[in-house]
Structure 1
Amino acid sequence: MSLAKMAASACAFALAATGVTVALAPAGSAATNSVYAVAPYVDMSNGQEGLLDTAVTGHGLKAYTAAFVLGEGCTQIWGDTLPIGNDPYTDPEIARARSEGASVIVSSGGASGEPLAWTCATQSSIDAGYQAIIDDYGVTQLDFDVEGAAIADTAAAARQMQAMKDLKGANPNLRFSMTLPVLTSGLTADGVNILKAAKNAGLRIDVVNLMTMDYYAGTGTEMGQAAVSAARATLAQMQSVDPGYTYADLGITPMIGKNDDGSTFTLADARTVESFAAQNGVGRLSFWSANRDQPCGGTANSLPTCSEISQNSLAFTDAFVPYQGGSGGGGTTTDFSLALSPASASVVRGGSATATVTTAVTSGSAESVALSASGAPSGVSVSFSPASVTSGGGSTLTAAVGSSVAAGSYPITVTGTAASGSHSATYTLTVTTGGGGGGGGGSLTNAGFETGSLSPWTCTGGSSVVSAPVHSGSHALQVTPSSSGTGECDQTVTLSPNTAYTLTGWVQGPYAYIGVSGGATASTWSNGTSWNQLTVSFTTGSSGTVTVFVHGWYGQSAVDADDFTLT
C-alpha cells in the first residue's frame, strides 16, 4: 500500500489502495485520556495489520500503542528501518486504524533499540525529534520503552525528562509514559532513578508503565497475582519519590500467553489484572502484543505472532477492552499501602536489626495507621517508632534478638491497621550464631566452585569455572549469556519442607541474577561492576525441593558468581 503525504496544514494521509483520505488530528485535539485506558502494543514491523483492523472494527478496541520508533544517532526510524513520517508500510497502518476510530500512542525504544534521548546527546535535536513524531502522527501520547543496559544511563534519562518538560510547554495536552522492566517486588534501583530524573526536572511521569512479564522466577509463577504484586510494590516506590503519584499514574503491561521465560499469562490472569485495575483506578492496561492475540498454527515457535496457548482470536483484547479506567470506583474510597525496606536481615544472637516501614495513600485521603508485628519467635522483640503513623508517613522497625534464640530464618508479619482495613508485609529475620565465612555451602554442593569443575551444577551456554576473577579461594563461576539465552546454572537441592531459608551469593557484572525456582519462587539481581553480595529469602513448599539458579541477561556480557550459602 503506498502513502501520499498531502500538502495540507492538518498533515493528511491518502491511502491510495483503499481510496480513504484520513486527516490526522493536530496535537491537542486527541481523544480524552479515558480512551487510552486500554492500549495494547502493536508491532508495526510485524506485517499483521489485518488483526489490528479486526480488533478495532470488530472488538471495540479504541486505542493502541504503535511500536517501535528507534533512535539512530540524532535521527529516528521505525523498527523496519524506514524513517518516521515517510514509511510506506507503517504510516498507512496508523492512518487506516485512525480512520476506523482508534487513537494511537507512538512508542520509542523496546528490547532491540533505544529512544532518541539515549542515542543523541544534543538536547535541541532530541526535542525536535520527539516533536516530529507529534507533528507527523498528530498524537498527544508518547511512550518510551527503556530496557536492558539503557535503563542505567542516568545522563540519557536526564535528557529525556528535559525533553518532556520542553515539549509539554509547547504542547499543553502532551502526556507521556515510561515503560520499564519490573520484578514482583517492584522497580529495580535503575527504574526508581528514572522516576527521580523526572522529579529533578520538575515534572511527574504521566504513566509509569510496568512490563509485568519475564520474571525468570520459574515456569510456575502465577502471572496475574505477580502483576498485582508488582503494581502494589511499584506504587509505593513511586510515592517515595513523589507522594502525589496514585494508581492513575501507573500502567500494567503483561506478555499474553507464553512468555520468553516459559511462564504463561492466561485469560484467567487477564481477568485478575482487569479486576485489580478496576478496583484501584489503574491508569492504563496494555499487553504485548495485539499481534500475538491469536492461537498458533503449526508447531514452530511463534512468540512474535501468536500466544502459543489455546485461545480464541483476540480473546485477550476482549478481556481488557471493557476496562474504562477504573470507572467501577477505583480511587474514590480511602486506602493505603505498606512496604518494608529492607524486607529481610541477618542478625547474630544478641544483636538487633532495623527496617523502614513506609506507608502511602493509594486512594481517598490520609488516615491513621497502627503498626503491629506477629510471628516473631520467643526471645525476639519487635517494636515500632512511632507505633502509629498517618498514611504517607514512615516508621522504624527494630527487631532485638535475645542471646538464646535458635538459629534459623523467621518470617515476621508486619501489619498496618486503619479504618479502611489492613495491609501486611513480611519481614524475614535470619538469626545466626556468629562466625561464618565465604565459600560455605549449607545444603549446596560445590558452593564456592573450589573443585575446579561445575558438577553438580548444570549450565546452559558457555558457562565455566574460572580461576580469575574470584571472590575468595581459587575458583569462581563465570556465566556467559548469548543473544538468545541467559546462560543459567542450576543446582537442585532438597531442604526441610515448609521452612524459611536464606540464599546468599557474591556476584559481579551486568544483570547478575540469583534465586530459587520449583518448590519456591524468589530472586534478586544487581548490576555492579565489582563483587557484591545478593540475598534471597524464601520458604520451601511441601516437598522441600528447590532449584538454586544464577544467570545473566540476554546479549549482555559475562557475570561472575562465587561463595553461595544456603541457611
Structure 2
Amino acid sequence: MSKVRMSLLACAAVAGTLAIGAVPALSAEAPAAAESPVAASPYLYNGWGNPPRPGEVMSATGIKDFTLAFILSDGTCNPAWDGTRPLDGSDRATVDEIRGGGGDVIPSIGGWSGNKLGEVCQDAQSLAGAYQKVIDAYGFTAIDIDIEASEFENPASQDRVLEALKIVKQNNPGLRTVVTFGTLPSGPNDTGKRMINRAAEIGADVDVWTQMPFNFGGSDMVADTISATEGLKEVLKSAFGYGDAEAYAHAGISSMNGRTDTGEIVDQAAFQKMADYAKEKGLGRFTFWSVNRDRPCDGAPDACGGIDQQPWDFTRIVAGFQS
C-alpha cells in the first residue's frame, strides 16, 4: 500500500466516512459453492467518500470478487474497518451486495498506516483470535494480510502474523491465506526474504505471497513487475523446495493502476501485459489498487488513476484472469 493512499485512508478513518447506497438485505454468510476469491479480486476501499457500487462494477465488467480494505485495530486487539467501523456495521452492505451478485470478498487486514493488529495484539494466539473474529463475522473463506511499515520491518510482529496465520489455517479447514508486501524490482528485499523463510520454518502454509511491484521510480513497469515476480519465484523455490510451477502458483502481483506515487505510469496496455504474464505462468493472484481509482478523473485524488481511461478498464483486465 502506498504512503499517499494510506495517508488518505487515515484521514477518512478519522472522519469515519462511508458512502454506500442502500441494498437489499442479504445474508452475510459465504456462498456454499463459491470459488475462492483469492485469484482475481481488485481492491475496493470504503474509506474514501465516493466508493464505487460493487454491483454496478460487476455488471459492467464481469468481475466476481473484491478485496475489501482495510481491517485495523480499534486501539485494542480487536478488529474494525479502518479501526473505526465495527464488523457488524455499514460495511456489511458491501459484502452482501457482492455476494448477492454471485461473487465474494477477501478482507485485507493491515495496510501502510493505522494501528496494525499484528503490533497491538501481544501474542500469536490473541492475534489469531482477532483474525478469527473477522472470519466469523462474514464467513470469509480467505484473508489477505497486507503487511507493511513497522509491522513488516519488525521481526517480532512478522513472527506473530505468521504464527497467527498458521493457527487460523489449522482452525478453519479450507481457509486460504494471502500475504501482501512491498518489493524491489529484483524481488523480495532482505526483510521479505526473512519473512518467507520464517514461514517455511514454522509451517505457516501461506497460499499466496503477493508483491506490490511499484513505486520503484522506474520507467518500464512491465519489465520491473516481471523481474520482481521472477525474483519472488526463486525465493519461494529456495524456502519451500518448490519447482517452478508450484512456486508461480504461490506467487502474486498487486499492481497500482494509472499513476503511482512516484510518477510511474501503469497504463492499460502495460497492465494487460502483466495479466498475460500472470496467466501464462499460472500465478495464484493478480490484482491492483484500486477499483476506486479505476475511472476517469473528476478532480478527486481518490477517485481516479490520473490517466486517460474509460470506467473500469483495469477491472475488466482482472476479470479476464478469473478461473
Q: Residue 52 of structure 2: SS of its match in structure 1? A: helix
How many Å apart are 1:289 and its aligned residue? Answer: 0.2
Distance 1:281 1:50 in 2: 29
The equivalent position to 1:74 in structure 2, one of 50, 74, 77, is: 77
Higher strand residue share: 1
Distance 1:166 1:147 in 2: 21
Q: How does 1:78-157 map to 2 (within 5 A)?
A: 78-79=81-82, 81-83=84-86, 85-88=87-90, 90-113=91-114, 115-157=116-158
Distance 2:102 2:49 in 1: 20
Q: Residue 185 of structure 1: SS of its match in structure 2? A: coil
Partner of 2:41: 39
- 2:26 aligned partner, one-letter code: V
Q: How does 1:117-516 map to 2 (within 5 A)?
A: 117-217=118-218, 221-244=219-242, 245-298=246-299, 302-325=300-323
| Structure 1 pair 197–73 and aligned structure 2 pair: CA distance change class (3 A) | farther
| Structure 1 pair 69–139 and aligned structure 2 pair: CA distance change class (3 A) | same
Distance 2:288 2:38 in 1: 13
Partner of 1:470: none
Distance 1:16 1:53 in 2: 11
How many Å apart are 1:314 and its aligned residue? Answer: 0.3
Distance 1:114 1:108 in 2: 11
Contact 1:195/1:205 (8 A) holds in 2: no
How many Å apart are 1:87 and its aligned residue? Answer: 2.2
Higher helix residue share: 2
Distance 1:124 1:258 in 2: 40
Size of the alignment, in residue pairs?
Answer: 300
Distance 2:68 2:214 in 1: 19
TM-score norm. by structure 1 comes to 0.51
Gaps of 5+ in 2: 1-19
1:23 aligns with 2:27: yes
- 1:270 aligned partner, one-letter code: F
Q: Spell out, residue by residue over 1:230-262, the C-alpha distance to the aligned partner (whole angstroms, 9 max, x if none).
A: 111111112111122511111101110000001
- 1:25 aligned partner, one-letter code: E
Partner of 2:66: 64
How many Å apart are 1:222 and its aligned residue? Answer: 1.1
- 1:118 aligned partner, one-letter code: E
Q: Spell out, residue by residue over 1:384-423, the C-alpha distance to the aligned partner (whole angstroms, 9 max, x if none).
A: xxxxxxxxxxxxxxxxxxxxxxxxxxxxxxxxxxxxxxxx
Partner of 1:370: none
Distance 1:56 1:246 in 2: 31
Q: Which has the larger radius of gyration?
A: 1
Compare 270-279 and 109-118 and name the one that shifted more.
109-118
Q: Spell out, residue by residue over 1:486-508, the C-alpha distance to the aligned partner (whole angstroms, 9 max, x if none).
A: xxxxxxxxxxxxxxxxxxxxxxx
Q: Residue 187 of structure 1: SS of its match in structure 2? A: coil
| Structure 1 pair 185–30 and aligned structure 2 pair: CA distance change class (3 A) | farther
Compare 146-155 and 252-261 and name the one that shifted more.
146-155
How many Å apart are 1:91 and its aligned residue? Answer: 1.7
- 1:235 aligned partner, one-letter code: K
- 1:52 aligned partner, one-letter code: P
Root-mean-square deviation (CA, aligned residues, Å) is 2.0
| Structure 1 pair 143–36 and aligned structure 2 pair: CA distance change class (3 A) | closer
Q: Residue 321 of structure 2: SS of its match in structure 1? A: coil
- 2:41 aligned partner, one-letter code: A
Contact 1:258/1:303 (8 A) holds in 2: no
How many Å apart are 1:59 and its aligned residue? Answer: 1.2
How many Å apart are 1:144 and its aligned residue? Answer: 0.6
Contact 1:270/1:320 (8 A) holds in 2: no
How many Å apart are 1:38 and its aligned residue? Answer: 1.1
Contact 1:36/1:62 (8 A) holds in 2: no
- 1:278 aligned partner, one-letter code: K
How many Å apart are 1:16 and its aligned residue? Answer: 11
Q: Residue 129 of structure 1: SS of its match in structure 2? A: helix
- 2:127 aligned partner, one-letter code: I
Q: Residue 139 of structure 1: SS of its match in structure 2? A: coil
Distance 2:214 2:116 in 1: 21
How many Å apart are 1:272 and its aligned residue? Answer: 0.7
Contact 2:28/2:92 (8 A) holds in 1: no
Q: Spell out, residue by residue over 1:444-471, the C-alpha distance to the aligned partner (whole angstroms, 9 max, x if none).
A: xxxxxxxxxxxxxxxxxxxxxxxxxxxx
How many Å apart are 1:51 and its aligned residue? Answer: 4.0
Contact 1:51/1:291 (8 A) holds in 2: no
Distance 1:174 1:36 in 2: 11
Query: Which structure has more RCO (C-alpha within 8 Å, separation ≥ 6)?
Result: 2
| Structure 1 pair 169–295 and aligned structure 2 pair: CA distance change class (3 A) | same
- 1:201 aligned partner, one-letter code: I
Contact 2:252/2:284 (8 A) holds in 1: yes
Q: Spell out, residue by residue over 1:251-286, the C-alpha distance to the aligned partner (whole angstroms, 9 max, x if none).
A: 101110000001110101111111101111011110
Distance 1:123 1:278 in 2: 35
TM-score norm. by structure 2 comes to 0.87
Distance 1:261 1:157 in 2: 27
How many Å apart are 1:197 and its aligned residue? Answer: 2.2
Q: Residue 25 of structure 2: SS of its match in structure 1? A: strand
- Identical counterparts, % of pairs: 30
Q: Spell out, residue by residue over 1:129-154, the C-alpha distance to the aligned partner (whole angstroms, 9 max, x if none).
A: 11111111111110011112321211
Contact 1:256/1:307 (8 A) holds in 2: yes
Contact 1:70/1:116 (8 A) holds in 2: yes
How many Å apart are 1:321 and its aligned residue? Answer: 0.9
Partner of 1:515: none
Gaps of 5+ in 1: 1-14, 326-567
Q: Residue 26 of structure 2: SS of its match in structure 1? A: strand
Q: Residue 135 of structure 2: SS of its match in structure 1? A: helix
